[in-house]
């Protein structure tokens, strides 16, 4: 139980008008209180407001699994202030794990399993280990502070990367990251939502999970997953009707193969056909990230050609066409290899991170 409130970035002098998202969340919470008197009684005794918990978030992931691609699972990642949740949903089944470290008061817990020296290579500017430790302690004391500039934002994104890794390691279904059965990833939490560009959130997901196969990434821009999961506890039919990937921002489809090809060698070629019959072809080269920008929300058909015999894309039938709806980053091929190992030299680490960021680009590109 805790207090929670929502507000606009700019507060006027006139009577505030609730945003559609806030109004939706408020209606669901009120609905829950009306249908469960115990919630109202508990609120009255504690003087606090009720918010959805971990299992409510899991409910939403389980609901999403019923509308996902056949025989593919959904992974929900929620980086909270005090904990990080990893929830796998498949065929209405659910397997959850959590790390007792979040991007707030409990952030120092992360250093018990991951030393600061391992986090530094994922920050693309010069930073001392002592400075990173100071930032972590300051954030734990003042979790309400938001990043004041791009440097502090990048620090928090690197921390989120390892928070996700920590939560995933505790999940018994983590092998789905390598067998090609993971069809959808939903990224959530303030550190994901409050990014300068959605590409920052997509890179966090790609770098922390690096799942093989073909995966659709979504961003919970408005924190709706837990609210919908809470609604499912009191009205399953209504929750089932409103739950859809369309509730979230479609970041794009990411294809990650396994191969031992050397960097610079062609792995395969693809062609994309839109609804009007226009065709775009591209050669996919081993090494780095290859992004094919597409029109957001439009349907495309993907075909494969000249697939190198050493290239495997788990769970993907490369002998047939695959249809999909484009996200804001179109179609992304993660050709960085089976392991994302950082070089030892600091200058090389910074160069590599800058290269990946440039290759993925921003939504505006």
Q: Model confidence over 34-60: pLDDT tens digits?
A: 666 665 666 666 565 555 678 888 889
Number of domains in the chain: 2
Q: What pLDDT, on the 0 to 100 scale, is given for residue 155?
A: 97
- Considering the domain architecture, whether residues 112 and 193 belong to the same structural domain is answered as yes
pLDDT per residue over 119-165, tens digit each?
999 999 999 999 999 999 999 999 988 898 999 999 999 999 999 99
Q: What pLDDT, on the 0 to 100 scale, is given for residue 5?
A: 41
- Over residues 243-266, mean pLDDT: 93
- Considering the domain architecture, whether residues 23 and 93 belong to the same structural domain is answered as no
CA distance 286 to 335: 5
pLDDT higher than threshold 90 for residue 216: yes
Domain range enclosing 71: 54-360
- Over residues 106-129, mean pLDDT: 95
- Considering the domain architecture, whether residues 21 and 148 belong to the same structural domain is answered as no
Question: What confidence tier does 109 reach under pLDDT thresholds 50, 70, 90?
Answer: very high
- Considering the domain architecture, whether residues 98 and 27 belong to the same structural domain is answered as no
Q: What pLDDT, on the 0 to 100 scale, is given for residue 7?
A: 42
Helix, strand or coil, per DSSP, at residue 238 = helix
Question: What confidence tier does 21 reach under pLDDT thresholds 50, 70, 90?
Answer: low
pLDDT higher than threshold 70 for residue 242: yes
Q: Is residue 219 part of a domain?
A: yes
- Considering the domain architecture, whether residues 45 and 152 belong to the same structural domain is answered as no
Residue 83 Ramachandran class (φ > 0 left, ψ -120 to 50 alpha, else beta): beta
- Considering the domain architecture, whether residues 39 and 107 belong to the same structural domain is answered as no
Contacts 24+ apart (CB under 8 A), 266-271: 266/306, 266/308, 267/307, 267/308, 267/311, 267/335, 268/304, 268/305, 268/306, 268/307, 268/308, 268/311, 268/318, 269/304, 269/305, 269/306, 270/302, 270/303, 270/304, 270/305, 271/302, 271/303, 271/305
- Considering the domain architecture, whether residues 100 and 22 belong to the same structural domain is answered as no
Q: Is residue 69 part of a domain?
A: yes
The two beta strands, 213-219 and 182-188, are: parallel
Higher pLDDT, 80 or 237: 80
pLDDT per residue over 290-335, tens digit each?
999 999 999 999 999 999 999 999 999 999 999 999 999 999 999 9
Domain boundary among 7, 26, 50: 50
- Over residues 172-194, mean pLDDT: 91
pLDDT higher than threshold 70 for residue 20: no
- Considering the domain architecture, whether residues 96 and 234 belong to the same structural domain is answered as yes
Q: What pLDDT, on the 0 to 100 scale, is given for residue 239?
A: 75
Q: What pLDDT, on the 0 to 100 scale, is given for residue 6?
A: 41
- Considering the domain architecture, whether residues 326 and 248 belong to the same structural domain is answered as yes
The fraction of the chain above a pLDDT of 70, given in percent, is 85
Q: Is residue 257 part of a domain?
A: yes
pLDDT higher than threshold 60 for residue 18: no
- Considering the domain architecture, whether residues 99 and 224 belong to the same structural domain is answered as yes
Type and span of the H or E element at 178: none
């Amino acid at each position: 139980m805790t207090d929670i409130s929502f507000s606009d970035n700019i507060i006027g002098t006139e009577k505030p008008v609730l945003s559609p998202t806030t109004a939706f969340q408020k209606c669901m919470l009120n609905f829950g209180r009306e249908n469960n008197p115990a919630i109202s009684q508990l609120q009255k005794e504690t003087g606090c407001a009720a918010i959805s918990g971990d299992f409510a978030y899991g409910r939403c992931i389980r609901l999403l699994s019923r509308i996902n691609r056949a025989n593919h699972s959904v992974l929900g990642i929620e980086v909270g202030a005090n904990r990080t949740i990893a929830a796998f949903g498949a065929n209405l089944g659910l397997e959850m794990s959590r790390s007792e470290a979040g991007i707030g008061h409990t952030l120092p817990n992360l250093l018990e399993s991951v030393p600061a020296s391992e986090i530094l290579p994922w920050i693309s500017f010069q930073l001392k280990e002592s400075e990173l430790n100071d930032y972590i302690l300051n954030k734990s004391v003042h979790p309400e502070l938001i990043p004041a500039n791009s440097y502090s934002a990048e620090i928090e994104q690197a921390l989120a990367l390892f928070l996700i890794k920590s939560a995933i390691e505790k999940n018994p279904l983590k092998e789905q990251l390598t067998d090609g059965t993971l069809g959808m990833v939903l990224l959530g939490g303030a550190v994901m939502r409050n990014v300068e560009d959605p590409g920052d959130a997509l890179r966090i997901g790609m770098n922390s999970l690096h799942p093989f196969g073909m995966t659709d990434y979504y961003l919970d821009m408005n924190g709706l997953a837990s609210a919908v999961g809470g609604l499912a506890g009191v009205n399953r039919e209504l929750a089932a009707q409103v739950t859809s990937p369309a509730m979230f921002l479609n970041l794009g489809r990411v294809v990650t193969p396994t191969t031992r090809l050397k960097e610079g060698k062609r792995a395969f070629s693809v062609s994309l056909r839109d609804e009007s019959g226009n065709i775009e072809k591209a050669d996919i080269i081993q090494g780095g990230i290859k992004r094919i920008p597409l029109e957001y929300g439009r349907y495309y058909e993907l075909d494969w050609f000249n697939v190198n015999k050493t290239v495997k894309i788990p769970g993907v039938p490369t002998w047939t066409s695959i249809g999909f709806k484009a996200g804001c980053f179109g179609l992304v091929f993660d050709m960085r290899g089976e392991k994302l190992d950082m070089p030892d030299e600091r200058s090389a680490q910074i160069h590599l991170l800058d290269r990946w960021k440039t290759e993925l680009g921003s939504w505006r590109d």
